[in-house]
Amino acid sequence: MTVQIDRDGGSFVLKTETVIPEQLEVVFSYFGDATNLGRLTPPFLHFRILTPEPIEMRVGTLIDYRLRLHGVPIRWRTIIRSWEPPFRFVDEQLRGPYRKWSHTHEFEAIDDERTRMRDTVRYQVPLSFLTHRWLVRPDLERVFQYRQDVIQREFAGQGNARVST
């Protein structure tokens, strides 16, 4: 997996694509379970979900988090804007470190045993001419590489992943 980040007008667009050795429904269930976000987030962010469990995922679901970014405590709130199991969902930042953040998660069955997952994140950052190259971009590359490493461990040839129910 590679993390590709390009400019699109006043926004940046991050794209990744991963092939996961598991059925579409299992992969969607894993990524659609908000509690797995803690597993997928690197320890350096000190990430914690504040919304009480269970979190029912649907359009309009609000999820609150707390994390530390370069030592600065941050509260982050997202809303689920689109929920289309088992193919797609979109979370969007309502409050957090970005001026704009919209993360589209797409899932496509390659065959009965493999799923292609695509992440597309459209984001804007304050003072991007100062912060993006030296702080934001390296952090996002590190976060998505960590996520890829976790995905490989979670789904590594076992035929299934740890899916919370």
Q: What is the DSSP string of 63-103?
A: EEEEEEETTEEEEEEEEEEEEETTTEEEEEEEESSSSEEEE
Kindly write down the DSSP assignment for every residue of 17-45, as one continuous string: EEEESS-HHHHHHHHT-GGGHHHHS-GGG
pLDDT at 165 over 70: no
What is the pTM (predicted TM-score) of this model?
0.91
The predicted-structure confidence for 55-111, as pLDDT tens digits, reads as follows: 999 999 999 999 999 999 999 999 999 999 999 999 999 999 999 999 999 999 999
> Residue 127's pLDDT is what?
85
Residue 36 sits in which domain range?
4-155
The CATH number assigned to the domain holding 74 equals 3.30.530.20
Total number of domains constituting the chain: 1
Q: Is residue 162 part of a domain?
A: no
> Residue 162's pLDDT is what?
39
The predicted-structure confidence for 37-49, as pLDDT tens digits, reads as follows: 999 999 999 999 9
Q: Is residue 97 part of a domain?
A: yes
> Residue 163's pLDDT is what?
35
